[in-house]
Amino acid sequence: MSAPPIFEHHLDFTPESADEILRSIPAAPGVFSLRGPDTPDGKPGEPYLTRTADLRRRLRRLLAPPEALDEKGNAVLSKRLNLRDRVRTIAYTRTGSDFESTLLLYHASRLAFGTEQARKRLRLHTPYLIRVTMSHEHPRAYVTNRLSKKSVEESFGPFPSRAAAERYCDAVLDLFKLRRCYEDLTPHPDHPGCVYGEMNKCLMPCKGASAEGEPANPAACTPEQYTAEAQRVHSFFTTRGESLLTEIAAQRELASESMDFESAAAHHKHWEKVRAAALLSDELVRPVTELRALILQEAAPRDDEPQSFSSREDAAVFLFANGHLTTPTRLSTLGVRAVREQTAVGSSLFAQPLMLAPVPLDEPVAPPRAAVISTEAQRSGEPPVFVVAKDEGANVPSPLSSTPTPLSSPEDRTRALITQLTERTGEPAILDELCDSLSLFRRWYYRPEKQRPGEVFLPNGAVSTNDPATAWPIRRILNGAARVVLGPPTEASPIDREAAKAHKTKILHPGREGIEREVPVLPKRTRARKAITPTDVLE
């Protein structure tokens, strides 16, 4: 959400040239906008905005001539929407995934209709969060879906539903003695209290000293004790239970060293209860201001490259940080061993030889597909000689100049991309944008796994301002990008050893233009095992 969207293609539409215009539009997923003539006062009309899985088919239904005509050639009244005589311009952008289409549609609706209308059109609602009111005199924790500038710093989430948030909040409060009443307390020694105080599940700050100077009830706690308990609850939500688990584990170890096994068993039982409560929250549940996530999706093919090449090399990367959801940026997967050789066997990251980014040439020739470092040079440790893998018949010189261009590794490209996306997020987002970004991200993240295309990665630790890429799992991101680009690994087919004897070669990276190679297959070594007879055992 760091930059407003701009439709990549704009076409002037006339009913007479409808067939020619519709044939030029690709049959691919995307978002489009239809506009009619300007109003009499010179203002542009309200656009028709939507997303679709097939741009050509959807536009043909809206702009093609009506199917039913009367005897005079006039269109018969039909329930199907037809905008053929009202549209003057068409604007569209191809997208690579449903996530990108939704984000682009939100941006377009926000520019055309405003934030409130865009939120209503896409049915966006602020997700449910848990707020710990540390700024209050008597802090408490509760579930809410209303955010303000003050509450953002005290909120944790997002959760998939209100029920999930309340279940987690109640389980955590059962571990502490924080108040659950919602009114602003006026402490007084004669305060009636509540049932949680009677069950010893609350420190009862309501029975503290009154403003008139009356002494506190002996059953009440001091303000310092209640503040310390609230800090423990806040630390639990911040660390997703690790703070309390570490504390109980230390007490358990101390009891074990003192040979007090009954206390150690009690501490272990308490540890299991805390662990069960911590597991009720997803790993995404974090302080809202510290939430970071990297989303990988399929990238739309470029207009200036063949679909067979571009769609198999790039992944679309989105970053959620500082309340912003960035527009997609391409990450090249050249150099990554894709999808474990298309089978479920093996997990090596790099292929041999190593495929790197295309090398720009001085002469205006056909664009190279990939630069390859010879395997012999890698093994010997000598300076590598870069050659260009070219298609047959392409006018591309095979050895390059004696001073090869330095090529970046896949990890370096990924780190540079993450740093670039982090810089784009900039300052924390305004409240409206934060709520909409959380809603879009939560809607995609909490889908069933089989219905959630793409992959998501969270940082391993705190993100540094000097080098934002240090906290991210770079190798996992690269492997995830390869899976997104080429699909999940397929199961290995059963081996027919009799038929395999006649074949002495195999294909690596099938279908990847410029990278596919045919290599020999070495026979497996087998050891002849001597059969053991009962006579041998007796001897």
pLDDT in tens, 356-379: 445 455 544 444 333 333 334 444
Clarify whether residues 137 and 212 are in a common domain.
yes
Domain-located, residue 39: yes
Q: Of 253, 288, 323, which one is at a domain's C-terminal end?
A: 288
Domain-located, residue 482: no
Residue-level pLDDT at 143: 97
d(CA 281, CA 285): 6
Residue-level pLDDT at 470: 86
Tokens of 87: 């549209």
pLDDT: is 377 or 412 the higher one? 412
Instruction: Tell me which residue has tokens 């939100």.
Output: 106
Tokens of 67: 């199917």
Residue-level pLDDT at 370: 37
d(CA 143, CA 182): 11
Assess whether pLDDT exceeds 50 at residue 346. no
Clarify whether residues 77 and 169 are in a common domain.
no
Tell me the mean pLDDT in the region 430-436: 93
* Residue 395's pLDDT band (cuts 50, 70, 90): very low
Clarify whether residues 212 and 164 are in a common domain.
yes
Tell me the mean pLDDT in the region 17-44: 88
Residue 481 φ/ψ, nearest 5 degrees:
-65, -40
Domain-located, residue 327: no
Tell me the mean pLDDT in the region 255-278: 95
Clarify whether residues 189 and 91 are in a common domain.
no
Clarify whether residues 34 and 50 are in a common domain.
yes
Residue-level pLDDT at 356: 46
Residue-level pLDDT at 261: 93
Residue-level pLDDT at 71: 65
Domain-located, residue 406: no
Residue-level pLDDT at 405: 40
Clarify whether residues 148 and 89 are in a common domain.
no
d(CA 539, CA 533): 10
Is residue 35 within 8 Å of residue 47, measured between CB atoms?
yes
Q: Where is average pLDDT lowest: 62-76, 109-123, 130-144?
A: 62-76
Percent of the chain with pLDDT over 90: 52
Task: Give which of 324, 297, 253, 248 is closest to 95, Cα–Cα.
Answer: 297
Clarify whether residues 152 and 116 are in a common domain.
no
The one-letter amino acid code at 11 reads L
Q: Where is average pLDDT lowest: 91-105, 338-352, 478-492?
A: 338-352
Residue-level pLDDT at 312: 62
d(CA 393, CA 366): 10
Q: Where is average pLDDT lowest: 321-325, 380-384, 451-455, 488-492?
A: 380-384
* Residue 384's pLDDT band (cuts 50, 70, 90): very low
**String of b and e for 353-391 (b: at least 16 CB within 10 Å)?**
bbbbbbbebeeeeeebbbbbbeeeeeeeeeebebbbbbe
* Residue 497's pLDDT band (cuts 50, 70, 90): low
- Phi-psi label, residue 221: left if phi above 0, alpha if psi -120 to 50, beta otherwise: beta
Residue-level pLDDT at 518: 80
Clarify whether residues 18 and 70 are in a common domain.
yes
Q: Of 83, 103, 121, which one is at a domain's C-terminal end?
A: 121
pLDDT in tens, 190-237: 888 899 998 999 999 998 887 777 778 888 899 999 999 999 999 999
Range of the domain at 63: 9-121
Q: Of 75, 100, 121, which one is at a domain's C-terminal end?
A: 121
Number of domains in the chain: 2
Tokens of 408: 């970046």
Going by the DSSP 8-state scheme, the letter that residue 402 receives in this structure is S
Going by the DSSP 8-state scheme, the letter that residue 46 receives in this structure is P
Domain-located, residue 156: yes
Clarify whether residues 102 and 18 are in a common domain.
yes
Q: Where is average pLDDT lowest: 7-16, 311-320, 374-383, 422-431?
A: 374-383
* Residue 84's pLDDT band (cuts 50, 70, 90): confident
d(CA 155, CA 461): 19
Q: Where is average pLDDT lowest: 103-117, 204-218, 516-530?
A: 516-530
Is residue 332 within 8 Å of residue 512, measured between CB atoms?
no
Clarify whether residues 65 and 161 are in a common domain.
no
Clarify whether residues 143 and 231 are in a common domain.
yes
CATH number at residue 38: 3.40.1440.10
Domain-located, residue 146: yes
Domain-located, residue 332: no
Domain-located, residue 24: yes
- Report the chain's mean pLDDT, rounded to a whole number: 81
pLDDT in tens, 151-168: 999 999 999 999 999 999
Clarify whether residues 112 and 197 are in a common domain.
no
Residue-level pLDDT at 526: 61
